[in-house]
Amino acid sequence: MPAPLIAIYPGSFDPLTNGHLDLIARGSLLVGQLIVAVLENTQKQPLFPVAERVEMLKQSTTSFTNVEVDSFQGLLVDYAAHRQAGVILRGIRAISDYEAELQMALLNRRMRPGIETIFLMASEQHSFLSSRMVKEIATLGGDVSSFVPAAVWKRLHVKIGR
């Protein structure tokens, strides 16, 4: 029998949305262990520091027994190999996600052929959701309570001062 799969779900999660959470819930049913890994990206200017993004993810995923939250720097495939993960999980919302995701998956495969990227299609009810839109709406005073978990909503309020 093959060993249970370890999968990495990498992303910025700035902040976590219900779309990410849906992917975590569905992905966690497919693998033995799912590691949600926050990328410490030096190029993007984030709203939340990594530690806070990790904290919000932890608070929002306590009900999943096979989900772990971590953060990493450097190449995703090196981190995946270090965690002995055979799979990278990513989500696709629309055709606009596809091109960048394809490029990343092919590059990652070239660097580490043993690691497969698998994609889950976003659920219809979350397919319009992105961290960027959540931040934009919250900044403009809109109600994002139906787009993000409660732990995120609370911190967004504090951060944006509304």
Question: Which one, of 58, 43, 57, lies nearest residue 14 by Cα?
Answer: 57
Token pair 């993000």 is at which residue? 148
Q: Is 131 a catalytic residue?
A: yes
Q: Is 28 a catalytic residue?
A: no
Do 160 and 138 touch, CB atoms closer than 8 A?
yes
Phi-psi label, residue 36: left if phi above 0, alpha if psi -120 to 50, beta otherwise: beta
Q: Is 71 a catalytic residue?
A: no
Residue 130, interface with ligand ADP (CB under 6 A)? yes
Cα separation, 33 vs 22, whole angstroms: 16
Question: Of all residues in this chain, which one has the CB nearest to ligand ADP in the complex?
Answer: 19
Residue from 6, 7, 8, 19 in contact with ligand ADP (CB under 6 A): 19
Residue 47, interface with ligand ADP (CB under 6 A)? no
Report CA-CA distances (Å) from 48 to 45, 79, 102, 156: 9, 22, 27, 9
Cβ proximity to ligand ADP: between 59 and 130 the closer is: 130
Residue from 93, 109, 112, 159 in contact with ligand ADP (CB under 6 A): 93
Number of residues that bind ligand ADP (CB under 6 A): 16
Interacting residue ranges for ligand ADP, rule: CB under 6 A: 11-13, 17, 19-20, 23, 90-91, 93, 97, 122, 126, 129-131
